[in-house]
Structure 1
Amino acid sequence: MLAFELSGEHATLPSAEVTACLEALGIRFRVELGLPRCLLVDADFSERIGQRLAMTRSIIDVLGVSDASEPEIAEMVRGVELSADRRLSFRVRVKNIGTPLSSAKLERRIGELVYDMGYSASLDNPDFELRAVLTGDKCVFGRTLSLIDSSVFERRRPQYKPFFYPGVLMPKVARVLVNLARAVDMVFDPFCGTGGILVEAGLMGIHALGSDVQRKVLLGAKLNLVHYGAPFTLMYQDARSLGLADDSVSAIACDIPYGHSAIILAGSRKELLEDSLAEMHRGLRLGKRAVVVADRCIKDEMAAAGFESEQVHRQRVHRSLTRVIHVAVKPG
């Protein structure tokens, strides 16, 4: 069993990203238990899972689950089976999500128990890491399989890219959108702007297909995509009239513009939304997903275009803006 230690930056997106990623990679799974910021899933591990996820801190091979009390945790640790090779070194890390237990004290206690089994401790360069996640009234204990480095997303913040334009998505959110779309071989963004979504897709080895009606930002997207070495194709096109064949793209992820300039270019906000959704539906393959971000709920508009809604997530950006992330499928 795998445990996904989730980030606390959103209530629903981290767990939704995990299950979408497993589906995209074709990994059979069953969610066994959902705890605060921790999801237990019956699934086989693949390095590709950790390489894709943005809102997960670590992936753990679960060795045991106990009540979150020192005696129960100690009893569980004594009963787990680690590697048969006692020459291996270890370290212990405890992540405490709101329990009254002392993380430092518990790290020492677990370390003592594992040391007594015949393993040597190494804080700097261990052969394996044991991780305990204290969440709710449970302790999830196991061997760390993957640690996700969130600093790489910070280094790709929009202002650090070769071409910057205000009001764009942060890299973590862009990565989550690609995963929610179950993109594998390609993803299409009909409002690509400076290429934030496309860069994250490209860094996962997914071909990034994008279009925009503004030449300046499209050239900026090219600068950014080249900088990160992402495989891409860009088109100077209006999202209301795309040069795509019917049923030709396997995943869509986009942030529909809601600024004044975008409405002027389209003629009206209603026209921009309805026409672009109709074009996305036309170009998307049957059974595939579109992940569309807007500044309000557009489930009705997406249904009118032919999509079936699967999920809606709300992300507060600031006092006057809440992004609404819609995950929908083209039925068939």
Structure 2
Amino acid sequence: MRRLVFELSGEHDTLPKSEVIGCIEAYGWNYSVIGSYDQALIVDTDADVPILAHRLALTHHILELIFECKADREDIKREAENADIGLGAGETFVVRVKKVREYGDIDGAFERELGAVLWRRGYKVDLDRPDAEYRAILTEGVCIFGRLIASPDRSQYEERAPLKKPFFLPGVLMPRISRAIVNMSRIKNGYMLDPMSGTGGILVEAELISDDIHVVGCDIQKKMAYGTRWNLRHYGKNYDVVRQDSLGMAIKDDSIDAMVTDFPYGQSTPIKGVTPIMGASVEEFHKGALREMHRVLKSGHYAVIVYREPIEKLLKEAGFKVIETHEQYIHRSLTRHITLVRK
């Protein structure tokens, strides 16, 4: 077991932590959460770090913890004077300080002070190509100091921005959020379904995780089924796309390993056969779709449902156990509710 620090994105308060735990649980690795702070998570785990770095979208860096102390200049320097930093003879280092929001009064100039502590211990500084990078995260009154061991490639998600895809419609989930909620579904291998796939952005992110994941997209609209197939053909190879109604899918009972979908809102994306405003007919559509989703998902497996309003009551009525819900504010008229459930 290693004590890992996940330096998290500030894009959302709770989703990054949920994504980390989802990834770890997907592989059945042992773990215990040691500390949870604003934009930092400390976990004891036997997880494979390269796999985590490949999958995670809302994590900036993964560190191996060296020490944790009060976010006080003298306390931090005292710990750094005595800590085993694992640096060999002749190896070089650099120190970076990350202050989260406005916690404490330590500023970026503290990097030089902290680096000087290690320099006085006989280690050499190299700002350009160091053998080791050490990071001090200042958050909620604590300093978390660790050695950088991996950094997820977050730039790849910008390369897959919606406007850069072959098929595009406005209002879709951004790639980093799509990847995060796919990771929350605990998919490791097998079949992952999006029964209302739209442009296929969720499926693209799932398919790119591993060749062991086969994604399946369904949509009742010919245009959307075509768009899903177009985008998946551009990025992946392990996929099937079917034009069909999510209220009656030609999929066997208990055959799907994970499910993630962004429910149509009935505004820019129409819901066939129902009015574009929330009413009884829309609720009946939701109930029917959720019953179908529950039918095809394997027992004990997970689904993530995104909708513009709280939907926990309908999820429970469909037979799901609600694990957690996250809210993502988009603009004044749209707050997404991202709900993790288990069958």
Q: TM-score, normalised by structure 2?
A: 0.92
Q: In the aligned structure 1, how far is the partner of 2:76 from the partner of 2:223?
A: 58
Q: What is the distance in 1 between the residues matched to 2:38 and 2:287?
A: 38
1:131 to 130, 135, 138: 135
Q: Give 1:88's aligned residue.
A: 91
- Return the offset for 1:138: 0.5
Find the counterpart in structure 1 of residue 278 from structure 2: none
Distance, in Å, in 1 between the alignment partners of 2:334 and 2:197 is 20
The C-alpha deviation readout for 1:111-160, integer Å capped at 9, x for no partner, is: 12222333222112111110100011100001011123332222211111
Paired positions, count = 330
- The one-character-per-residue Cα deviations of 1:175-230 (angstroms, maximum 9, x if unpaired) are 11101111111311001111110011111113221111112122222221122235
Cα pair 1:191 1:212 within 8 Å, conserved: yes
Partners of 1:74 and 1:297 in 2: CA distance: 47
The Cα shift of 1:84 comes to 5.2
Contact between 1:199 and 1:230, CA under 8 Å: does it hold in 2? no
Deviations 1:286-327 (A, max 9, x none): 100111111111111111111111101111111111111111
Q: Percent identity?
A: 40
**Partner of residue 151, structure 2:** 147
In structure 1, the residue matched to 2:264 is 257
| 1:86-114 Cα distance to aligned partner (Å, 9 max, x none) | 12221111101123444432211221222
Three-state SS of the structure 1 residue aligned to 2:272 is: helix
Q: For 1:29-178, list aligned pairs within 5 A.
A: 29-46=31-48, 47-83=50-86, 85-97=88-100, 98-178=102-182
SS of residue in 2 equivalent to 1:81: coil
- The change in CA–CA distance for 1:80 and 1:45 in structure 2 (over 3 A counts) is farther
Give 2:310's aligned residue: 297
For 2:96 and 2:215, locate their aligned partners in 1 and report how far apart those are by CA, in whole Å: 38
Residue identity opposite 1:176 in structure 2: A
Structure 2 CA distance for partners of 1:304 and 1:291, relative to 1, 3 Å? same
SS in 2 for 1:270: helix
Distance 1:262 1:18 in 2: 34
TM-score (norm 1): 0.95
Q: Which residue of 2 aligns with 1:279?
A: 292
1:238 aligns with 2:252: no
Check whether the contact 2:104–2:141 (CA below 8 A) recurs between aligned residues. Answer: no
Cα pair 2:13 2:38 within 8 Å, conserved: no
2:185 pairs with 1:181: yes
Per-residue CA shift, 1:252-279, capped at 9, x if unaligned? 0001101245333457312321111001
Equivalent in the alignment of 2:196: 191
What secondary structure sits across from 2:108 in the alignment? Answer: helix
CA distance in 2, matches of 1:198, 1:253: 8
CA distance in 2 between counterparts of 1:27 and 1:239 reads 34
For residue 4 of structure 1, the aligned residue among 6, 14, 27 is: 6
In structure 2, distance between residues paired with 1:96 and 1:276? 45
Q: Is 282-291 or 46-55 further displaced after alignment?
A: 46-55
**Kept in 2: contact 1:178–1:187 (CA 8 A):** no
Give the secondary-structure state (helix, strand or coil) at the position aligned to 1:34: strand
| Structure 2 residue matching 1:262: 3-state secondary structure | coil
| Residues 234 and 266 (structure 1), Cα distance of their counterparts in 2 relative to 1, 3 Å cut | farther
Secondary structure of the corresponding residue to residue 28 of structure 2: coil
RMSD of Structure 2 on Structure 1 (CA): 1.6
Q: CA deviation at 1:82?
A: 2.4
| Whole-angstrom CA distance in 2 between matches of 1:283 and 1:14 | 28
- Aligned position for 2:25: 23
Secondary structure in structure 2 of the residue aligned to 1:87? coil
Check whether the contact 1:211–1:237 (CA below 8 A) recurs between aligned residues: yes
Distance across 2 between alignment mates of 1:177 and 1:8: 16
Distance across 1 between alignment mates of 2:216 and 2:228: 11
From 213, 218, 233, give the equivalent of 1:211: 218
* Secondary structure, counterpart of 2:69 in structure 1: strand
Give the one of 331, 338, 342 matched to 1:318.
331
